[in-house]
Structure formats: C-alpha cells, structure tokens
Structure 1
Amino acid sequence: MLDLWPHADLFAVCDMLPENERGFLRGREVRTSFIQNLPFARRHFRKYLGLMPLAVEQFDLSGYDLVLSSNHAVAKGVITGPGQLHVSYVHSPMRYAWDLQHQYLRQAGLERGPMSLYTRWLLHRLRLWDRASAAGVDSIVANSAYIADRIAKTWRRNATVIHPPVDVDHFALSESREDHYLIAARMVPYKRVELVAEAFRAMPERRLVICGDGPGLAQVRAAAAGAPNIELRGRVPQTELIALTRSARAFVYAAEEDFGIGMVEAQACGTPLIAFGRGGARDIVRPGTGLLFGEQSAESIAAAVRRFETLAPAMDPRSCRANAMRFSVSAFRARFRSHVEGLMEERKAAAA
C-alpha cells in the first residue's frame, strides 16, 4: 500500500519495530496513538488490547479523502466522514474474540477464576465493537475467500477478495526433485506440525524434513521420536530453506491458514503442495499443482502422501510456478489499485 501511494501519511496504534526491520517504511514518520507512551508498552503492548479500539478512534483523519487500513485487529475502526472513502484490507476478523475464543482461553490458562471472567467480558466488548466498527468501512477487501466467509459470518458484510502480495521472484524455479518431503512452519499449536511428523513416522520408507522453531517444538520432537526418516533442522537460514524447498518432492502443510504465503513460495519454486483442504489452501491449490486432504489427522496426511505419489508424474514444476504468479507483488498492486481507484471514480460520478 505504501508503495502504491508513496506520499500517504502513516498511522499505527504503536510502533515498536527495531531499526533493522524498518526498511519498507523508507524513512516515513509513523504517527502513533497514546498507547505508545503507556507504561511497559514497548514490551507488553498487547496487554493494552482493551484500549486499542479507543486508541484508533482518536486519530484525526478528517483531512484525508482516502483512508486505507490494514486490519487484523482494530485498524478498521478509525473514524471517517461521509465525504471520505475508507477501504480496509482485512487479514482476518479477531479470531481470539470470535470462533477461537474458547481455544484462546484454554491455551492462556484462563478457563476459570477472576482473570477468566474479566477476559471473557473484554472479548465480549471487543465483539460488539468489532461488528459495529465494520459498518463504518466503505469497502472491505479480504485476503482470501476463506476470510471473506469469516467476514460475512462475523460482520455480515460482503468482501472483495484480493490475495496478498508474495515475493515470488525471490524463489527460483527448479525442475529437479530429491526424495524428501518438506514442512516449514513456526512451531505453534494451530500449525499441526506434530501431525505431519506422526504421519511420516508411520511411513518409514518416506523421508521428511521439518524446519522451524517455536514453543511447540518439544511436541513435534516427541511426535518424531524414534523415526530415522524424519529430520528436524530447527530454524534454518533463508538460503537453506529455499534450497530445501526447491528440491523437495512436495511441501506438506497441515494448518488451517487465513491465506498461506509459505505455500505460494513453495509453488514459486515449482514444488507441489499437499495441504489441509480448509482456509487459504483452497485458493492456492489448483489441479496439477498439488492436492488437498480432508482432515487434520496423521491418517489423512499419510493417505494424501500415498495419493500424491500416484499423481506426482502429472505435476509439472512449471505449472506450479505459473500458479504462484497469480499471487505476485505486481498482481496485488494492479488489483488493489484498480479496486481503490474504481471506487473513487464511482464516488466522483455520484457527486457530479
């Protein structure tokens, strides 16, 4: 968005980015909310979630004709007037406040007690605000059909699907394959990496390489224990990860993702996908580029791997690469600019 509108002013609830991650801002000033200056905000800003709706509502955006928000929590809640166009690019409605509330409370150890009661009250208030603030957005853009469905369910709004930009040019095509399957993901519960390990432990004749780290690494290690065909490499340099992806027989993914940029990166390398058939994977996988499995279980993954091996000769790396190009940076820029400028032209015509 900043590249499309290089003279735009930038607002954020808070700005804690370290210097080595600020390159994409190209020196722009970031105007932050009062949360930036609250006690302990630098390390614990997420604990101020209950104040974030109030914080974004304090931004004075009355001097702008066009307002773009990139929303995963509260950004769409900025206040705009009838003479302004507000387009919100939505990565997901707040999962922890909607359908994943109970899972969030379990993982946070907040199923009982005073803090549980407070958190449930807070999430209830967030749900009310979340739906009410969605009504103030003129056009909602979702990053996948899956997120468009979630938006329709939670906010009762229609959304235009424009897939996020993926740096496919950074991942070169390879037409040669080795014998390993690959999964690369952060080790957190919803990624379900342990299920992939369990599936391959039951298939000792097939080799699996697992890359990534995180709080769930111990669970993944336990799932892979005693399986010489499974190699855990932990977090690896980007160059090594790309090399592993380019040579893999297939990229295996068991998570229900909002979109799934890692899957597109694998396709850009010419690598087929074996992915769980819910979420963004349904937007990504096309015939001849991979296959989907129906359940998040080791048995379903193992069955998909066996099915893949019968179909693999028909999966051309060049078809995978061509599929990935649908999600390139240039494709996103063209679609998003066209969407926004089309809305602006409609407004001008209506006002004439």
Structure 2
Amino acid sequence: MKSNPNIAIVHDFLMQSGGAEEVLREIKALFPDAPVFTLAYDKKRVPPDFTEWQIEPVGWSQRLPRMHKWYKYYMPLYPTMIEQMDLREFDLVISSSYLVALGVLTRSETAHLCYCHTPMRQAWELYFDYKHGYTRTGFRPKRELFKFLYPIVFNYIRMWDKQAADRVDFFSCNSETTRRRISKFYGRPSDVIYPPVHTENFSPVKSSEIEDYFLCLSRLVPYKRFDIAVEAFRRLDLPLVIAGDGPQMSDLKKIAGPRTKFLGWVSDDDKRELLRKCRAFVFPGREDFGIVPVEAQAAGRPVIAFGAGGATESVIDGQTGIFFPEQSPESLIEAVKAFDKMDFDTDTIVRSAYRFDAAVFREKFHRWATERFEEFQRNL
C-alpha cells in the first residue's frame, strides 16, 4: 500500500451494536487513524470504545427531528445525505455498507473499497417482507399512506442504489449469499471475506452443565422469523428461551406457549452463558451470514437452522448442526425431532467455528485492501 495514504471509513449508522459494527471495529483496528463518517451517531447506543474514535456524522442528522426514533421514515433522504460527506482529502475510502454507505462521492484519484454486508434489504431481497411490515401496523390512514408511498419511494431508491454501486472501485462481502446478491442486483464481482467472530470469548461447558432449553437470540424483527420457532416449540411443548428485544416482542408473546420465556435484552456475559448451556441454538431466519450461529458453535453447541442463506456456510449439516428445508413450524418440528436422535462432538463443533475467528478476518481484509488499493494506484 502507498506509504501513509490518507484513509477514511464510512459506516451507515452508529446507533446500535450488531454484526456490522463488529466488522467496523476490526476495520478501524487495522486503520486506527482513520476518521469514521456516518449518517447518524448516538454515543449512548454504541460500545464504549467507539466513543473514543473520531466520528463525523452528517450535519443533517443533527437537525432532523427525533432522528434516533424516526430514522426509518427518513429513508428517502439518505441518498442525498450520504452524498454530502466531503471526502476530497482522502486517498482511500473504505465503506462498510448495508444501506447507503456505498454511495459516497469520491474523487477520481480516490480508491473506494466497499465491504458490503448486503445490498439494501428493503429495496431488493426483502422488499416485500419490509413492505408488508410497514403497511400492516398502525392506524388505517397510516397503513394506507404507506401502502401508496412505499412502492414509489423504493422504485427511486433502487435506481439510486444501482447507480451508487457503480461508484465503488472494488467490493468485498460477508458470504457467498451476499456475493450472489451483489452480482445479481449490481452486476459487480466481489470477494468473500467472512465477518469476524471473537471465538476466544466462548468456551464449552461440561455435558453435565447443559440445561434443558433451546435458544433464539437476536433483534425481534419480522424477517428473523422467530414466529416459526415460537409456534414450533409451542406445539412440541419444549422449553424455548428468546433473548433480544424489538418491535415483534408483543406479537410473539401472543402466540407463545407456556414453556417459552422472553428475556429481553441481555448483556454480553449473559449471552455467553445462554449460548454455552443451551441444548441447541435455533436460527429460523434467512441471513446474509449470521454471527450468532458461529458464536454458538464456538461455545460448543449445535445449531438448528433454516437451510438457506449464510447459515449454509457456517453450519455443517450433521456435524455442527442440522438444517430444516422450509421456513415453517412443521419443518422446524421435524428437525427438532431428528436432532433429539443425533449425537454431536463438541470438539468438532468448536474447531469449525475457528474458521471465522477475528484474526482470520483481520489478515484477509488487510491483504485484500492492500492489494486492491495498489491495483487502483497502478491503473491511475
């Protein structure tokens, strides 16, 4: 890489802590002097170490009313907002994008490398899921308004997103699932670099310490399909623990059986203990990759997952977990019954998780960024 290039990092939002933010943390560690540009920043909602960074939120985000609560309603503004980031002074821009970060404007002499968590779900892969979610809640006039506006807004956003993808010089992504989406929606090649998992933070317990419950753990939003798990375990009359919070909590509680327990948000320490001691981790959604199933394996626990998306890249069917073929309670019920008759080797499960260790990510991402930046420089 050019000696001492001036580097900037761009990330969609800094208002939560999830898998995308774990990737951001590792990229920042590789380039510690790089400022982080973002659409909006709330230091109360990010990990404490993030507050020590030089963070540059877009000026608009400081003036929009109740940005942190109403952010999804400001979606039509995000393409314009991301284009207001002034990155003229930088030689290299690295975007961490799941929404619009890939759309920043850079000079012709500036290399733009994008780590794409997924092409914008709301506009592409999960368009109808999100449309249904936005238009089925609230009072009737609001539902009717969203039903009318949603297709119009996202028709424009899809066109902008495709054009914005053309501004990226090189793509990398978090899974083969995402690589295929980038190819289909953007017509661009990308290199797969699996996201980082801190496997050293997890360790298995003795078999005698495994407790009698299955576990779901994530944000409670519709596309995660926790409704499938809740319904399946109600019919099975088996204990299910759900850790996490989100807008679907009340709907899930309405269909839950007496042996389903909702914990809400849990700390990292509690999360580790839940993963270590569950009978199995249940993953009913279709994710771009999915870090928590890898964490479960690092803790030595098998995964029962819907057999599509990123889970097919992290779980080895019959060795570190089991897949169910359809997103339905019936399919999951059959998988749980099959799981009860299977034996899993804890050491095999843990070793499989090491493929996704954070150290592996750092080495691969740094090599990729260096090689692509040097290629860009040669072609100037």
Same fold (TM over 0.5): yes
Look up the equivalent residue of 2:280 and give its one-letter code.
A
- RMSD of aligned residue pairs (Cα, Å): 2.3
In the TM superposition, residue 350 of structure 1 has moved relative to its aligned partner by 4.7
Structure 1 counterpart SS, 2:236: coil
* SS in structure 1 at match of 2:214: strand
Report the AA paired with residue 199 of structure 1: A
Rounded to whole Å, the distance in 1 between the matches of 2:121 and 2:163 is 16
Instruction: Return the offset for 1:230.
Output: 3.8
Contact 2:134 2:146 in 1 (8 A): no
Instruction: Report the AA paired with residue 279 of structure 2.
Output: R
Matching residue's letter, 1:218: S
Q: Which runs of 5+ in 2 are unaligned?
A: 1-26, 137-141
Task: Answer whether contact 1:245 1:269 (CA < 8 A) is retained.
Answer: yes
Shift of 1:144: 1.3
Aligned with 1:316 (options 345, 352, 375) = 345
SS at match of 1:89: strand
Task: Determine the C-alpha separation between the residues in 2 that align with 1:234 and 1:54.
Answer: 35
Matching of residues 216-295 of structure 1 within 5 Å: 216-225=248-257, 227=258, 229-287=259-317, 288-295=319-326
| CA shift in 2, pair 1:198/1:170, >3 Å | same
Residue 137 of structure 2 is aligned to residue 73 of structure 1 = no
Contact 1:35–1:48 (CA under 8 A) maintained in structure 2: no
Count residues in correspondence.
345
Taking the aligned partners of 1:71 and 1:85, their CA distance within structure 2 comes to 16
State the alpha-carbon separation in 2 of the partners of residues 140 and 279 from structure 1.
Answer: 19
TM-score using structure 1 length: 0.89
Alignment of 1:177-188 (within 5 A): 177-188=210-221
1:213 and 2:250 correspond: no
Q: 1:18-57 CA distances to partner (integer Å, 9 max, x unpaired)?
A: 2x73533362322222322323154334433222212222
Following the alignment from structure 2 to structure 1, what is the Cα–Cα distance between the partners of residues 249 and 376? 52
Amino acid at match of 1:328: D
User: Does residue 1:58 correspond to 2:91, yes or no?
Assistant: no
Match of 2:364 among 326, 331, 335: 335
Tell me which amino acid in the other structure corresponds to 1:35. Answer: W
Q: Is the 8 A contact 2:240 2:261 kept in 1?
A: yes
> What is the alpha-carbon distance in structure 2 between the residues aligned to residue 151 and residue 247 of structure 1?
37
Runs of 4+ in 1 over 4 A off after TM superposition: 110-115, 348-351
Percent of residue pairs identical: 35
AA of the residue aligned to 2:113: V
Match of 2:222 in 1: 189
Q: 1:224 corresponds to which letter in structure 2?
A: A
For residues 148-186 of structure 1, give each alpha carbon's deviation from its aligned partner in whole angstroms, at most 9, with x where no partner exists.
Answer: 111112111121111111222222222423333222233
**Structure 2 CA distance for partners of 1:35 and 1:299, relative to 1, 3 Å:** same
Shift in alpha-carbon separation, 1:339–1:36, aligned structure 2, 3 A = same
Counterparts of 1:130 and 1:246, CA distance in 2: 40
Q: Is the alpha carbon distance of 1:97 and 1:348 closer, same or farther for their aligned partners in structure 2, counting shifts above 3 Å?
A: closer
Work out whether residues 76 and 137 of structure 1, in 8 Å CA contact, stay in contact via their aligned partners in 2: yes
Q: Comparing 23-32 with 112-121, which one deviates more in the overlay?
A: 112-121
Does the C-alpha gap of structure 1 residues 113 and 245 become closer, same or farther in structure 2, counting only changes over 3 Å?
Answer: closer
How far did 1:311 drift?
A: 2.4
Matched to 1:87, the amino acid is L
Q: Verify the 8 A CA contact 1:245 1:271 in the aligned structure 2.
A: yes
Q: Match of 1:86?
A: 112
Distance in 2 between the 1:77 and 1:296 partners? 33
Q: 1 CA distance for matches of 2:240 and 2:143?
A: 40
Give the aligned residue type for 2:161.
D
Partner residue in 1 for 2:29: 3
CA distance in 2, matches of 1:163, 1:264: 11
Amino acid at match of 1:337: H
Q: How far, CA to CA, are the matches of 2:78 and 2:240 in structure 1? A: 43
Shift in CA distance, 215/55, structure 1 to aligned 2, threshold 3 Å: closer
The Cα of 1:327 is off from its aligned counterpart by: 1.5
Taking the aligned partners of 1:112 and 1:243, their CA distance within structure 2 comes to 41
Q: Choose 236-245 or 248-257, whichever is displaced more.
A: 236-245
One-letter amino acid of the structure 2 residue matched with residue 163 of structure 1: Y
The equivalent of 2:65 in structure 1 is: 40
46-55 vs 86-95, which deviates more? Answer: 46-55
Unaligned runs of 5+ in 1: none
